[in-house]
Amino acid sequence: MKKSIQKLLLFIFVPAIFIGCSGEGTDNAQLEADISPVIPKINSTVIAIRVTDNQPVKKGDTLIVLDTATFKIAVEQAEIALLQASKNVTLAGNNQTSANVNVSNVTASSYAVSANLASSNAAIESAKARLTVAEKNMERYAQLLAQKSATQQQFDQVKADQADAVAKLQAAIGQRNALLKQIDASKLQIANTRTQVSNTGENISLAQLGVKEAQVKLNAAKLQLSYCTIVAPSDGIVSKKNVQIGQVVAIGEPLMAVANNKKVWVIANFKETQLKNMRVGQEVEIEVDAYSDTTFTGKIESIAQATGAKFSFLPADNATGNFVKVTQRVPVKIVMPAHSSKNYPLRTGMSVYAKVETK
C-alpha cells in the first residue's frame, strides 16, 4: 500500500516539477522526416515488385521492374542510326579526298596549258619573222621579174613561200587562241573543284553533327531503358505501397514511398505568446507519447517566418468585418541527433510534447 502511494505521488509531482521549470512547452507537435515518393518516369507495365510494405531499403535498391521490350527496341534503333551517321562521316571524308585530288589534277593541267601557251607565243613570233622575210623576198623578186633578171617560176616560188608563211602565222595564232580558251576553262574547272572541296567540308561537318545527334538519341533511349528499373531514392522504410504486378503505370503516378527512419525532427507549433524568449540553438526536451518512460533531446534549428494559419488553404481575412482574435501558432523546427534505437523507434507523425529551455 505504501509503495502504491509513493508511485502515485511521483506520478503527480514529477510532471508538476517538469512543467514548473523555466521554459515554454507545447503538445501541439509531432515527428517529421523526409518521405521520398517512388514514381515512374515512363509509361510501362509492372513485371516484378522486389519489396513489401514496411521493408527497410537502402538507396539504390531495386523496388520495381517495368517491361523493357519497347525501350530495348528504341535503343537498337538508336544504335543503328548512330552507325549510319558514322558511315556518312566516312563517306563525306572520302568525297573530300576525291575532290582534293581533282583540284590537284585540274591545277596541274592548267600549268601544262600555260606552259604550252609560252611555246605557242614563240611559234607566233617565229611565223611573223618568216612572213617578214617572205614578203621582202617577194618584193625583191617582183622587181627582178620586172627587170627580166628573174624568171616567172622563181617569182611564183617566192610568192608561194609568202602565202605559206601567212598560213603558218594564222595557224600559230589560232593555236594560241585555243590555248587561251583552255586556260579559261581550266580556271573555271579549278574554281568548281574548289567549291566541291568546300562543299565536301560542309558535308563532313553536317555528317559529324548527325553523329552527335544520333549519340544524343542513343543516350536518351538508354536513359529511358534505365527507367524500367525503379530504385529506392533514399534509405528508409517502404510505405504506402500501391502497385501490383501487371499494372500499367503512368509517368508521375505514385507507387509507394520511402520514409527516412534515421533522421527525424520535430515540428512544434508554439503559441505566438511563447516565442518571446525562444532562440535558435536552445535546448529542447522531447517526450514522445509512445514512449512515456524516456525523454529525448533536441535543439531549435529554425523558427518559421509565418504562422500556420497563413499557409492554410483558405487563410483568414481580417478585413471582412468578422474579426475574432485568436492566438496564432508558429511552427518551430527542432532537430534531434541521429536515432537508431530498436527499443524506441521514432516514426513520422508521432505525437510529442516539446519543452524549450528558454533560460
Domains in the chain: boundaries: 23-67+234-356, 71-224
Residue 173's pLDDT band, with cuts at 50, 70 and 90, is confident
Q: Which of 86-90, 142-146, 331-335 has the highest mean pLDDT?
A: 331-335
**pLDDT tens per residue, range 33-67:** 999 999 999 999 999 999 999 999 999 999 999 99
Classified as helix, coil or strand, 119 is helix
Q: Which of 125, 128, 150 is nearest to 139 (CA)?
A: 150
Classified as helix, coil or strand, 327 is coil
**pLDDT tens per residue, range 265-282:** 999 999 999 999 999 999
From 3.40.605.10, 1.10.287.620, 3.40.50.2300, 3.40.50.11540, which CATH number describes the 71-224 domain? 1.10.287.620
pLDDT at 250 > cutoff 60: yes
Least confident span in 133-147, 180-194, 266-280, 328-342: 180-194
Contact residues for 189 (Cβ-Cβ < 8 A; gap 6+): 106, 110
CA dist., res. 68 & res. 33, Å (int):
34
Looking at the chain, the whole-number percentage of residues with pLDDT higher than 70 is 79
From 1.10.10.10, 1.10.260.40, 3.30.70.1400, 2.40.30.170, which CATH number describes the 23-67+234-356 domain? 2.40.30.170
**pLDDT tens per residue, range 112-167:** 666 666 677 777 777 777 878 777 877 777 777 777 777 777 777 877 877 877 78
Check if the beta carbon of residue 50 is closer than 8 Å to that of residue 63. Answer: yes
Residue 178's pLDDT band, with cuts at 50, 70 and 90, is confident
Check if the beta carbon of residue 233 is closer than 8 Å to that of residue 13. Answer: no
Q: Which of 256, 188, 258, 211 is nearest to 33 (CA)?
A: 258
List strand residue ranges (DSSP E) for 235-305, in order.
236-239, 248-249, 256-271, 283-288, 296-303
The reported pTM is 0.64
Distance of CA 237 to the CA centre of its chain: 34
